[in-house]
Amino acid sequence: MSDKLASSEVLFQLTNQSLSYGNHRVLDDISLTIRRGEKVALLGPSGAGKSTLLNLLHQQQSQCSALQPQGGGLVDLLSVYQNIFIGGLDRVGTLAALWNLLRPLAAQRSAISELAQVLGLEDKLWQSVDRLSGGQRQRVAIGRALFRQQSVYLGDEPVSSLDPLQAQALLTHVLNQHETAVISLHNRQLALDNFDRIVVLQEGRLCCDCPPSALSAGQLDSYYQQDSSPVAEQSAPANEGWVIRTS
């Protein structure tokens, strides 16, 4: 870790934290510190606990974080414009937000139109998102997170449905727009090429935390080849029945 990062503010701190749903241990004795300015790639097989970890981090810094959940969390019947606008609701009063549903506000329309060009969605701005492809929906979710205009970005597989060139371009843009980022990925090469720290989870345990220069694609692949755990975290209801231990 550089001297600059070592002296920077701690944004996220987990100490010996475990989390279970029923008899299933989702996270097991996780200790993790992330400082302001770090760009962290979160890797691991499906069901390793990445989504759960991102949600715990978001709970610690929800006021300054833009969270892009897996699946996007879009409102299908609303337009691309309206879904992106939702990211900025806390900057607009209630009456203005309601009016914007009927008649887009000039300033917001201009800002979102500009963002849509970056995302390659300028011709889809007034379509409902239920008419979009998986890759287009993912770009809308990126747009909503960007429109939050926060310093921290937490992304759960944000570019998994995009082609490699588009994924690289938008990932670069997201990283440039946020001071700190923790992003779950399956594409190991994107992690090696774009981040200053790689954290790997396996069966709910933190098994690797190091700079990308200390890893190869082959070493990362080995963590996936050992995957034998069932995918359980996605079936657990949010905020119901969780047991959290921090001892």
CA atoms of 35 and 12, how far apart (whole Å): 7
Reported as a single tens digit per residue, the pLDDT across 83-132 is 999 999 888 777 877 887 778 888 889 999 999 999 999 999 999 999 99
Residue pLDDT, tens place only, 15-48: 999 998 888 889 999 999 999 999 999 999 988 9
What CATH code is assigned to 3-245? 3.40.50.300
String of DSSP letters for 158-197: TTTTS-HHHHHHHHHHHHHH-SEEEEE-S-HHHHHHH-SE
Q: Which tens digit of pLDDT belongs to each residue from 69-79?
A: 998 899 999 99
| Tally of CB atoms within 10 A around 31 | 11
Does residue 85 contact residue 39 with C-beta atoms inside 8 Å?
A: no
CB atoms near residue 205 (< 10 Å): 16
Q: Which residue from 37, 33, 40, 5 is spatially nearest to 178, judged by alpha carbons? A: 37
Domain locations along the chain: 3-245
Model pTM score: 0.85
- Rounded to the nearest 10°, the torsion over CA 158, 64, 59, 49 is 30
